[in-house]
Structure 1
Amino acid sequence: MMTQTILHKAGTRGHADHGWLKSFHTFSFANYFNPERVQFGALRVLNDDQVSGGMGFGEHPHQNMEIISIALEGELQHEDSMGNMTVIKPGEIQAMSAGTGITHKEFNKDKNKPVKFLQIWIIPNQQNVTPRYDQVNIEEKGKVNQLLQILSPDPKAEGVWIHQNAWFHLGKFDQDTELDYEMKLKGNGVYFFVLKGNVTVNDQALEHRDGFGIWDTDKINIKASAGAEVLLMEVPMS
């Protein structure tokens, strides 16, 4: 088995500036289309969004997609057709199974400061499920210099759960750390997204907002510098 990799440097991402919304697209989205960057296995969208104070996304529909939001700075207000009215704050992760169809809107609760968050779409392994909502605090676990599981297919496990054999881990490091990540499922790959600092994955040096996909392997070596933060997204490749 020959390990396969793909590198997406931060500066090569698609970019949209709508004034109130500044967004970087790792994969093809809206007006950004790159035939070589449509998805990484079941990982279909990775948007790095900043929304100006008091602004937001009006009501819009989704179906048959697992939608994950991770707040990085500020507070994101969420309302949906399931009756949920919540605020996502840094240290929290939200997952929605759109299934047979939902509508929702998101906006910046603060009139003065921008909100920054990741919006991630995962293609589900089941169609037309009953829509559902999940939100948990991932920061209160307080793990540093190791990988914290924040998403899985198991409703009883740590973090949120989705309809897909996917596992997300978040690593925050306050000292130089080396560790290995072992694949949860044969045939999966891992997409690394660097939130802060410097991380080296299997000898590939990565910086702020770089993305790096790796598959056809059982184990991955990670070296993180002090102050680094990285998101690992393990997803099926087919």
Structure 2
Amino acid sequence: MKTILHKSETRGHANHGWLDTHHTFSFADYYNPQRVHFGMLRVLNDDRIAPGEGFGKHPHDNMEIITIPLYGDLEHKDSMGNHGVITTGEIQVMSAGTGIFHSEFNKNKNKEVGLLQIWVLPNKKNVTPRYDQITLADIQKPDEFYQILSPNPEDQGVWIYQNAWFHLGDLSEGWKGTYQLKDKKNGVYFFVIEGKVTVAGQELNRRDGLGVSEAESIEITTSAKTKLLVMEVPMQ
């Protein structure tokens, strides 16, 4: 088993006034040659957007883009004709493929929005761009990992063009369990949204990240109420 620890305070940080953002991996003006990616996981940004502010129309291509709101309401528009709002308890995915333009704005004028934006490198290039958005209410289960993303359109959650699986865990204090990899050639990146947890013997706190590779199952124990994001991705 190999592990790589990224403590919350070691992340890249930028405060643009309207946007306060932390980068687990190299992004924009933050570059760390030791932290460019974890396997096919390329971007993990922890964003806070001021009331009424946001990202104007901008392009993407050949990237799987996953957005998970943590609080507040995020308004989305794109060149595929999609226009809507995503909020806490939902997940959005875009396969940028041959190219899209989109914008993301805080829907509210009186409170900020917090979100995770995650980029995964695809296993298929130049696909027709696609968009999906679902609520997690019907699949949430306390004290177990529930799947929110997979490579299979028929599976629970959203899907992407990559041999990757994402799970969320809403875990009570003192919970013990394991994460069993779907593909033993993959690695797993754990990100603590809230709480305190020990993963593979490493204690993690709020917004810490831990990458684990060369393992088939990983032991997990919480020491506080914890919300844990688990991202299994190919390493090559």
**TM-score bracket for the superposition, by shorter chain length:** over 0.9
Return the alpha-carbon distance in structure 2 between the equivalents of residues 217 and 173 of structure 1: 22
Q: Does 1:56 find its partner at 2:38?
A: no
Per-residue displacement from partner, 1:118-173 (whole Å, max 9, x unpaired)?
00000000000000001111133230110010000010111100000000000002
| From 10, 18, 21, the counterpart of 1:20 | 18
1:168–1:233: 8 Å Cα contact kept in structure 2? yes
- In the TM superposition, what is the alpha-carbon distance from 1:176 to its structure 2 partner? 1.9
**Could you tell me whether the CA contact under 8 Å between 1:173 and 1:225 is conserved in 2?**
no
* 1:187 alignment partner, one of 181, 185, 188: 185
| Equivalent residue letter for 1:94 | Q
What root-mean-square deviation, in Å, do the aligned CA atoms of Structure 1 and Structure 2 show? 0.8
In the alignment, which residue of structure 2 is the partner of 1:235? 233
Q: Is 1:38 matched with 2:36?
A: yes
Matched with 1:94 is: 92
**Structure 1 stretches of at least 4 aligned residues deviating more than 2 Å after TM superposition:** 139-142
Segments of 5+ residues of structure 2 without an aligned counterpart are none
2: distance between equivalents of 1:200 and 1:69? 26
2:157 aligned with 1:159: yes
Corresponding residue SS for 1:104: strand
Deviations 1:50-90 (A, max 9, x none): 00000000000000000000000000000000000011110
Retained in 2: the 8 A contact 1:64–1:123?
Answer: yes
Structure 2 equivalent of residue 171 of structure 1: 169
The 3-state SS of whatever aligns with 2:139 is coil
Using the size of structure 2 for normalisation, the TM-score is 0.98
1:158-208 deviations in Å (ceiling 9; x for gaps): 110000000000000234211111111121000000001101101110000
Partner letter of residue 190 of structure 1?
Answer: V
Give the unaligned 5+ runs of structure 1.
Answer: none
Aligned residue-pair number: 236
State how far apart, in whole Å, the 2-side matches of 1:117 and 1:157 are. Answer: 24
Rounded to whole Å, the distance in 2 between the matches of 1:159 and 1:86 is 19
Identity %: 60
Tell me the residue number matched to 1:149. Answer: 147
Aligned partner of residue 7 in structure 1, secondary structure: strand
C-alpha separation in 1, matches of 2:64 and 2:230:
17
Equivalent residue runs for 1:66-215 within 5 Å:
66-215=64-213
Q: In the alignment, is the contact (CA less than 8 A) between 2:42 and 2:118 conserved in 1?
A: yes
